[in-house]
Amino acid sequence: MSLELKAFFLYFFCLLLISLISYRKQKSEADYIIGGRSLNFWLTALSAHASDMSSWLFIGYPALIFTTGVEGAWAAIGLVGCMFLNWHFIAPKLRTITEQTKSLTLSAYFENRFKDTSGKLRLISAIMSVLFFTFYISSGLVGLGILVDSLFGLSYTLGIFIGLLIVVIYVFLGGYRTVAWIDLFQGIFLLLVIVSVPTILIAKTGGMSSIMDAIRNQNLSTSLIPEFTFTAIMANIMIALGWGLGYFGQPHILTKFMGIQKVDDMYKAKYLGISWQTIALLSATFIGLIGIFMFPQTHHPEHVVLDIVKTALAPFFAVLVLCAILAATTNVMAAQILVVASNLSEDFYKRLIRRYATSKELLWVSRSSVILIAILAFIIAFFKISSLYQLVFYSWSGLGASFGPLVLASLYRPSINKHGAFAGILVGGLTAAIWPYYNQLFGLDIPSLIIGFILSYLSIEIVSFITRKKVKL
């Protein structure tokens, strides 16, 4: 058995062991979905960020830097900046109000916050969540397929099947608390690895001056602002906000805020999490730049990290890097599958089929939903309808535009009502879903998240205002 296979088996045996230990602690749906709101700030911080950075951190984002140069780092700047705002303005309020309203999911929170007894608000939010998360989960499978194919020469289909099987097993058994502990373990491991790679390789390549020369030879940007023109600066802002705004509406990240034990510890989690994210993205940026130096002629930007691992690193360290890529991928998939499972159990089954279902019954519905969503994601990944980067961006934009404006409005705008909330989710989600096609048709360069976010918020305010006027009349 090769060193790579031995490392993978050992690594995932540890994950399975954590899952089995946690399995005995799941006594209710609340334990399974948000861990009984009992997590400390370490778990909350690293779980929120580790479940955010998927294989996109090792494969998708370095590929962006590889094709654009330093200027592509505006995506990372937008992510760090908006995540800080998310921790500061959203996390404490959301944790407090979801406990007061006894809400386990974002959909349930919207229903309780706006006193919607019809179930329409909860249903539309659950539909958007399931729709975009299915594509998001499939992006993780695409990353696993690329990894296994490149590493072992196994088929892409077998790669996505093995990866999905591993994630489903530990999510099915453990739930929220298991995912959080695994996120803590993998978050620390992932950070150590991603910092080590550029540290080792920059010395081997002759330093940053050699790397910058290679970037210039490829006619790529060597600074964050290559041109001081209005058009160029606006393009950079579009890149930053086109990613960063998404944080306000990502259910798999927002639910991490809901699981912390003490609201007063949120500020500790904020600084710990932001530090982790900044270091990880900075390291990933250097990896993409190193790739330009080492493989200037490659036709597969998403394979750059794998090519670096196989050609420039010692076998043992290469195995650690590959395990870190798997860790990043499985972290996000686990968190996302768990959110979708809670949507299907809480928002569909309990709300539409069996309102008075027991806690134990809902627990098993949640676990069964894990299997269902895994099958749907497998089908999408099998046909590989798009690249990993495009799948992540599409899903991220859809979730951010659907829920981000409403999360902000629900916490800071008391005058918003259920009609405006429904309109905001519907308009934001549909805009993000169809805007990429219009973007291409008319040659526009406006990210779908930005246009969807704006239209969603305007819909919330306008529809709430109109329906308030009608009620008064």
Predicted confidence (pLDDT) per residue in 109-154, tens digit:
898 899 988 888 888 988 898 888 888 888 878 877 777 776 666 7
- The predicted model scores a pTM of 0.82
The region, left, alpha or beta by phi > 0 then psi within -120 to 50, assigned to residue 249 is: alpha
One-letter amino acid of 420: G
94 — pLDDT class (breaks 50, 70, 90): very high
Sign of CA dihedral 233, 428, 392, 56: positive
With pLDDT > 70 as the criterion, what percentage of the chain qualifies? 82
State how far the alpha carbon of 342 is from the alpha carbons of 31, 35, 103, 270, 365, in Å.
12, 13, 11, 25, 9
Token pair recorded at residue 63? 């590929």
Q: Give me the residue label for tokens 């921790």.
A: 87
What are the two backbone dihedrals, phi and then psi, of residue 251, each rounded to the nearest 5 degrees? -55, -35
Are 185 and 32 in contact, with CB atoms under 8 Å apart?
no
Mean pLDDT lowest for which of 12-26, 203-217, 337-351? 12-26
| CA–CA separation, 191 and 184 (whole Å) | 11
What's the whole-number mean pLDDT along residues 400-429?
95
Q: What angle do CA 7, 8, 14 make, to 5 degrees?
A: 95
Q: Is 262 exposed, middle or buried (0-12, 13-18, 19+ CB in 10 A)?
A: middle
C-alpha count within 13 angstroms, C-beta hemisphere, residue 218: 25
Class of domain 3-104+137-386: mainly alpha
- In the chain, domain spans: 3-104+137-386
Token pair recorded at residue 167? 């994630």
